[in-house]
Amino acid sequence: MIEYLPRSKQHMGLHLTQFGIEDCLPGHYFGPAVRSHYLLHYVLDGEGFFEVGGARYELRKGQGFLIYPDIVTYYQAETANPWSYCWFGFDGTSAEPLLKQAGLSKSSPIFCYDRDNRIEQSLQMMIESRGLGKAQETKLTGLLYLLLSLLIESGPVTSSENMESRTEIYVEKVRNFIEMNYPYKITVEDIARFIGLNRSYLCLLFKQNMQLSIQEYLIRHRMNKACEMMANAELSIADISRSVGYNDALLFSKMFKKVKGSSPKHYRAGLLAQPFPDDLE
């Protein structure tokens, strides 16, 4: 069974191009050949081998391999115990970074996922999405993200490069959390709980990467957002204070002056006094 999908115009970051499942005959093979997109194969049963770049990998149930675009590969089912596998073809600008998080690359194309049957469940939900009409593409994209999240969660962290990548991911998660939640009364403990790391460890990673503590970054982000709001004359200083997470306008003014060097009132007066581009003509 194979399902081919049209090129996505809505999900350019990541989208499925095809998916399928096959019970191979003894010795069934494909290649040597290249593909135009990424292709993940996951072995459901039996055995076979995968060849790429002069290396040969013997594979069985619970293992899988990644085919990169425009790379010559060959794979074949064993004669005595031929494999059954499912596959997922995909593409998009986010594909390679997500695969890197899972520890997959051109030089490391093999993965193992034997903790449960959620990959098979993802395939089944993809098959069942056929009757969804206009909602199918969005559901399939979500299922593809879910599939890659399983590989990321179970993937190895064995090198300093991967550790650096994980650090960047955690730092980006902190920044994204703050971007989405700065108007609310959030704490560093809330951020650490959301990300799932020890508070002290997360603070250390963030400061090493950003040269700022999480708390300092949160305050600066709030003050930068406040500065953007200052140009809106319909908002009072108290309105802006509440909009960036400070119910206490006096505390907001104190923090604003500490970060920006002037009170909110004086900052706004200087901002509104500046001529607009049309006034310069």
Contacts of 247 (CB under 8 A, 6+ apart): 185, 241
- Alpha carbon distance 261, 263 (integer Å): 7
Q: Which helix (H) or strand (E) holds 15?
A: strand 15-23
Mean pLDDT lowest among 103-117, 127-141, 170-184: 127-141
Amino acid occupying residue 224: N
Domain ranges of the chain: 2-154, 160-281
* Number of CB atoms found within 10 A of residue 256's CB: 27
Residue 161 has pLDDT above 80, yes or no: no
Q: Across all residues in the chain, what is the average pLDDT? A: 88
Q: Which amino acid is at 98?
A: L
Higher pLDDT pick, 163 / 22: 22
CA distances from 44 to 179, 264, 271 (A): 41, 63, 64
| pLDDT per position as a tens digit, 88-122 | 999 998 899 899 989 899 999 999 999 899 999 99
The pLDDT-based confidence of 162 (bands split at 50, 70, 90) is: low
pLDDT of 154 reads 85
Does this model's pTM top 0.85? My answer is: no
User: Are 179 and 228 spatial neighbours (Cβ–Cβ below 8 Å)?
Assistant: no
CATH number of 160-281, picked from 3.10.180.10, 3.40.190.10, 1.10.10.60, 1.20.1050.10:
1.10.10.60
pLDDT at residue 43 tops 80:
yes
Packing angle of the helix pair 188-195, 160-181 (nearest 10 deg): 130
Can you give the pLDDT at residue 174? 94
Query: Which tens digit of pLDDT belongs to each residue from 231-259?
Result: 898 999 999 999 999 999 999 999 999 99
pLDDT score for 280: 39
Find out whether the peptide bond into 32 is cis, omega within 30 degrees of 0. Answer: yes
The residue-averaged pLDDT of 62-83 equals 96
Given pLDDT bands bounded at 50, 70 and 90, which one contains residue 167? confident
State the DSSP code for 278.
Answer: G
Q: What is the pLDDT of residue 249?
A: 92
- Six-digit token string for 77: 């089912």
Taking the C-alpha atoms of residue 193 and residue 271, their distance in angstroms, rounded to an integer, is 39
Q: Which residue has the tokens 């494999």?
A: 83
Contacts of 170 (CB under 8 A, 6+ apart): 195, 197, 202, 205, 206
Q: pLDDT for 180-234, tens place per residue?
A: 999 999 999 999 999 888 999 999 999 999 999 999 999 999 999 999 999 898 9
Give the per-residue pLDDT at 270. Answer: 84
pLDDT of residue 278: 47
Beta bridge partners of 73: 33, 52
Q: What percent of the chain has pLDDT over 70?
A: 89
Into which CATH architecture does domain 2-154 fall? Sandwich (2.60)
